[in-house]
Amino acid sequence: MNAARKLICLDGATLYGAVDQAWEAFAAEGIEIVVYDRTPPGEVAARLAGADYALTNKTPITAATIAACPGLKYIGVLATGYNIVDTSAAAAAGVAVTNVPAYSTSSVAQTAIALLLALAQQVETYGRLDSQGRWSACPDFHYRLSSWHELAGKTFGVVGFGNTGRATAAIAAALGMKVAVATSKDAASLPEGYRKTDVDELFATCDVISLHCPLTPDTASMVDASRLATMRPGAMLINTARGQLVDEQALAAALNEGRIAGAGLDVLCQEPPQADNPLLSAPHCIVTPHMAWSSAEARQRLTEEAAENFHAFLRGERRNTVAG
C-alpha cells in the first residue's frame, strides 16, 4: 500500500487557523493535509521534509528549503504576491509555484476609501471624544473640532491602475471626485473623464493620493521627503499597497509638522511594526493592521481559487503558475 502524499500548510492562521472544514476544499484522494497555524523560519524545512505539496501565505520558502526538500513538487501561495518563495530555485528544481490574483480587489478598494472617509471627517476622533462625554457636555447641539471639506470636486490621484487602483478610482468618482492616474497604460484605455499624468505631477496637484502599485526597485521609497514636500497642505495619502513604498520617517515628519492633512495606511515597512514606529503616534494618521485583503468574502475567494490551483496541478494542468 502506497503511503499517503502530504500537503503541508505552513501558516493557516493567516486565513482561518487549523480548522478542518476551512481546508476541505483542498481534499483529494490519497493526500493527507496537515495545517500549522504558524511556522518559525527555522522549522520550515523540517515541516516540509517528506511533503509533496506546500501552502504558504507569508512564511518564506527559500532556495535552501527547496534544496532540502527534494520530494516537494508544488507550492501554492495563498496570496497575490509571491516574493516569499524563491521562484528561481523552485523552477530550477522543477517545483511549480502558483498564486491567487485579484481575489481581494473589492476589499482593498473598500478599505482605501474607508481610510479616506475616516480621515476626511475625523470619524475616529469624534467617536472617541463622544464616548468620553465631549458631546454630552457641549452647550450647543453640535461642536466642530475643525473645518472639514466635501470630497466632491476634489482630485483623487491613483498611482498604479491595476485591478485595485481601477476599483478604488471608481468609488472615488462615484463620490464626485475627479480622477488623475499615474500609469504606464495608454491614456485612451482609461475610463472617460480620467486624466493621465506622471507621478510627480500627481503628487503636486492632487488632494488625495492613493497607492496601488507593486513594490519594485523603482517604486521603493517613492513617497520620500522630496515628494511629500510637493504635496498640497490639505492633501492626504492613502497606502493599501506595500509599506516599503513610503519613507516612514519622512511621512511622520510631514504629519508632525502639519505639512499634509493626513495619512491612512494599511501596510507598513515592518509587519508587525515596532512599538516605536513613528507613524503609530503621528497626528492625523490612521494605521490598520494589513487587513484590507481579509474580508470574509475575499478569504473565501482566496481559498476557492487556491484550491482550484492545487487540483489543476494534480490533474496535470497549469493554473496561475508563476514558476515551474
Query: Which is the catalytic residue, given 47, 166, 227, 242?
Result: 242
Q: Which of 290, 308, 311, 319 is catalytic?
A: 290
Nearest to 262 by CA among 228, 292, 291: 228
Cell of 318: 497549469
Q: How far is residue 179's CA from residue 80's CA, in Å, rounded to a whole number?
A: 26
Number of alpha carbons in the 13 Å side-chain half-sphere of residue 196: 11
What's the sign of the alpha-carbon dihedral 70, 59, 18, 308?
A: negative
Tell me how crowded residue 179 is: count the other CB atoms within 10 A of its CB.
Answer: 20
Angle at 233 between CA 274 and CA 202, to 5 degrees: 85
The active-site residue out of 24, 124, 150, 271 is: 271
Residues 174, 152 contacting (CB under 8 angstroms): no
Contacting residues for 279 by C-beta, under 8 A, at least 6 apart: 248, 251, 252, 255, 263, 265, 268, 273, 285, 287
Task: Reply yes or no on whether 271 is catalytic.
Answer: yes
Q: Are the CB atoms for 61 and 86 separated by under 8 Å?
A: yes
- Kind of pairing between the strands at 96-98 and 74-77: parallel
**What number of CA atoms fall less than 13 Å from residue 214's CA on the CB side?**
10
- Sorted by sequence, the CB contacts under 8 Å of residue 251 that are 6+ apart come out as 223, 228, 237, 263, 279, 282
Residue 322, helix vs strand vs coil: strand
CA–CA separation, 97 vs 85, rounded Å? 8
Residue where the block lists cell 485612451: 188
Residues designated catalytic: 242, 271, 290
